Structure 1
Amino acid sequence: MFEAVETLLAEHAELERRLADPAIHADQATARRVGRRYAELQRVVAAHGAWHKASEDLTAARELADEDPAFAEEAERLAEEQAQLEERLRLLLLPRDPNEDKNVLLEVKAGEGGEESALFAGDLLRMYLRYAERRGWKTETLDVAESDLGGIKSVTVALKGKGAAAESDETPYARLKFEGGVHRVQRVPVTESQGRIHTSAAGVLVLPEAEDVDVELEEKDLRIDVFRSSGPGGQSVNTTDSAVRITHLPTGIVVSCQNEKSQLQNKEQALRILRSRLLAIAQEQADKEVAAARRSQVRTVDRSERVRTYNFPQNRITDHRVGYTAYNLDQVLDGELDGVIGALLDADQRERLAALENSAG
């Protein structure tokens, strides 16, 4: 392990030298890429420094304990601290998701279940917005289509970065990357007059938000159409062609936005979504792990492909991928998602550690 650490420390020193050279800043894309890698390795440098200091303190405490037993307790405490720091260092050596530091475009779409599914999609949207608020993230609605009863047919929101209220330096993508998939609800719908429990579903898709330097779009690859936006019951209908539909000709991806009153604003929002979808596709093709993660997300909003169930009669939430179950559904829907998200992240960490140990063995 420590041989790998020494290699990363040497890389960090070289990146620091490059960033100090004014010439690198002539190419902003290169400077940004080098800066990101430097910041990533800074965590390894800090963890190694803490581990090294704890090791020196432990050696000194053990020497003192040989002469004075009163130092034995301090040596025991330092040995435990050193072991914890070594484990943190080991975790930092795990291969990182290339999108770990990115913001998120979160899409929620109603699926099977008609109006009840749209209402549930609205519940999911509020859940994620409340979670973002708890972690100090900024939110921005890029596009939304509402149902007749106030639910959500589809919505795309941007969740942005490390807010002051955040409990850690984890980005929206780092926390939400496993939220993608089909979410199933079991409850008595407001549209049900006889009090019977129904099952419906909504789909969630998590995309790392691409920056301009991540995906280059050429005008010749885009077909841009404009049309009049519309809403349920004739509401929010524009009298001008402000809605925008962009088709990426090489891939056939189509993105529509009509949330803003300005055609230019809708075009910019659509381009943001398109870049993020293209980034995800490019990384699927380049990285099998990313491909597997994407395949675990929503393909069709079919109840049989569920990743999570929200059972209202029992106040129960179950994530079927890791066997997580808790009876605090009301709190989860109010944004207290750390329990279920933590279970998913812990399972992923254990899997990656096992893979690292097997490759080392």
Structure 2
Amino acid sequence: MSSGTETAATDRLAALLAEHASLESELADPAVHADPARARRLGRRYAQLAPVVETARTLDTVRADLAAARELAAEDASFAAEAESLEQRVPELEERLRSLLVPGDPDDDKDVILEIKAGEGGAESALFAGDLLRMYLRYAERRGWSAEVIDAVDAELGGFKDVSVAIKSRTAEGIWSRLKFEGGVHRVQRVPVTESQGRIHTSAAGVLVLPEAEEVDVTVDPNDLRIDVFRSSGPGGQSVNTTDSAVRITHLPTGIVVSCQNEKSQLQNRESALRILRSRLLAAAREEAATAASDARRSQVRTVDRSERVRTYNFPENRISDHRVGFKAHNLDQVLDGELDPVIDALTRARTAELLAAGS
């Protein structure tokens, strides 16, 4: 690491330690907790900084212990082994701290809205979209997150043409930090239930992951919105289909259109549509501000085309392959049941390595 990089890392560590101390002071103030949303934001950031502070403090302790052990070893050989053990710990802790000091994504502590869209493959693609939804719902359950389907367009033979789900953390854990690499085209290879000859087909579904924007993140001017209401369609029941409860919101400056019809109440559908709209506007603003090389969403869905795949789910071989990092595992059944951590960990490590290489 160059001296300039070392200086930058030292300055960043000092800034993060100061921020952690400031947050600790704020969270000790009862007045802060009168505003639950603010307390939650501060708590998340505090928890996010905890590994940095803990590692830095441990490194300082080990370095001090090493200096003392070396002094004692000069007089008493029995301390030599302890000094050697501490010498091995120092570079390990330094590397861990270096990784933790890599500038994080500003959205890492946010909840997400995840959208799954059927693409090429017709009915089979819609069924696969349903499989992906179940996978993410099971993963959320395993992590202790809450998940709420906020809009869904069902397909005739099962599955979904389009489905949106809001995933929230019940703790300080940021969901975007775990799910941000899920965006992209997911390809499935299997024998469809509609296939009479037993041939393997390939189809695709697109996943779009958006950090959920809070009102403080994005200001939406009501004058910029065109809101249309219409009669819901699909398996919503008679009470849904007999009233104009579905809502379509068009954001006039950007042309972004969001429709929601999952709820029976027009007001509920309006709120759900606004949640999705705010998140799409936040994602658009972040993409515009980021360069193509550093944009974490560069692999998100553009067109649901099988050739743009980020991951393949091969049923005959029970294999999952993530093409961005060369990850392969033959436990597809377990992955579809929500065991996503190994592939997400591989993607996270690759991104951290990329950032470390860029800063060295």
Q: Is TM (by shorter chain) over 0.5?
A: yes
Aligned position for 1:356: 359
Asked if 1 retains the 8 angstrom alpha-carbon contact of 2:180 and 2:297, the reply is no
For 1:16 and 1:9, the matched residues in 2 are separated by: 11
- Is 1:246 equivalent to 2:249 in the alignment? yes
* Cα displacement (A) at 1:339: 1.4
Q: In structure 2, which of residues 127, 140, 162 is the aligned counterpart of residue 132 of structure 1?
A: 140
Q: Helix, strand or coil for the counterpart of 2:257?
A: strand
**Cα shift at 1:25:** 10
> Superposition pairs for residues 1-361 of structure 1, below 5 Å?
1=6, 3-4=10-11, 5-10=13-18, 12=20, 40-163=48-171, 170-231=173-234, 237-288=240-291, 292-357=295-360
Q: Distance in 2 between matches of 1:21 and 1:48?
A: 26
Contact 1:284 1:290 in 2 (8 A): no
> 1:143–1:55: structure 2 CA closer, same or farther, 3 Å change rule?
same
Q: Percent identity?
A: 71
Unpaired stretches in structure 2, ≥5 consecutive residues: 1-5
Shift of 1:351: 0.3
After superposition, the C-alpha distances for 1:58-89 in whole angstroms (9 at most, x for unaligned) are 22223333333333333333233332222222
2:3 maps to: none
Segment drifting more, 244-253 vs 232-241: 232-241
Larger deviation, residues 54-63 vs 73-82: 73-82
Instruction: Supply the AA of the counterpart residue of 2:10.
Output: E
- What's the secondary structure of 1:112's corresponding residue? coil
Q: 1:95 to 1:117 in 2, by over 3 A?
A: same
- 1:178 Cα deviation from its structure 2 partner: 0.6
1:168-207 CA-to-partner distances (Å, cap 9, x unmatched) read x642110111110000001000000110100000000010
Q: Larger deviation: 31-40 or 257-266?
A: 31-40
Structure 1 residue 276 displacement after superposition: 0.2
Instruction: Tell me the alpha carbon deviations over residues 211-267 of structure 1, each in whole angstroms, 9 at most, x when there is no partner.
Output: 010001111001111111111598775211111111101000000111111111111
Distance 1:79 1:236, change over 3 A: farther
Once the two structures are TM-superposed, the CA of residue 14 in structure 1 deviates from its matched residue by 6.2
Contact 1:244 1:258 in 2 (8 A): yes
Distance 1:326 1:114 in 2: 27
Q: Distance in 2 between matches of 1:290 and 1:104?
A: 23
C-alpha change, 1:236 and 1:337, in structure 2 (3 Å) is farther
Alignment-derived partner of residue 166 in structure 1:
none
What SS is found at the alignment partner of 2:182?
A: coil
Instruction: Judge which range, 1-10 or 27-36, deviates more.
Output: 27-36
Q: Name the TM-score, length of structure 2 as normaliser.
A: 0.88
> 1:157 is paired with a residue of what secondary structure?
strand
* Greater displacement, 240-249 / 50-59: 50-59
C-alpha separation in 2, matches of 1:224 and 1:290:
36
Distance 1:22 1:130, change over 3 A: closer
User: CA 1:30–1:136 in structure 2 vs 1: closer, same or farther (change >3 Å)?
Assistant: closer
Does the aligned pair in 2 maintain the 1:231–1:237 contact within 8 Å? no
Q: What letter is aligned with 1:61?
A: A
Deviations 1:264-289 (A, max 9, x none): 11111110000000000111112226
Q: Cα–Cα, structure 1 residues 137 and 176, in superposed 2: closer, same or farther, change >3 Å? A: same
Report the TM-score, using the length of structure 1 for normalisation. Answer: 0.88
Q: Structure 2 vs 1, CA of residues 129 and 54 (structure 1 numbering), >3 Å: closer, same or farther? A: same
CA RMSD of aligned residues (A): 2.9
Q: 1:246 to 1:342 in 2, by over 3 A?
A: same
Paired residues in the alignment total: 352
Deviates more, 1:67-76 or 1:194-203: 67-76
Distance 1:109 1:28, change over 3 A: same
Change (3 A) 1:141 1:182: same
Q: CA deviation at 1:298?
A: 0.6
Distance 2:156 2:238 in 1: 10
1:285–1:291 Cα contact (<8 Å) kept: no
SS in 2 for 1:85: helix
TM-fit CA distance, 1:131: 0.8
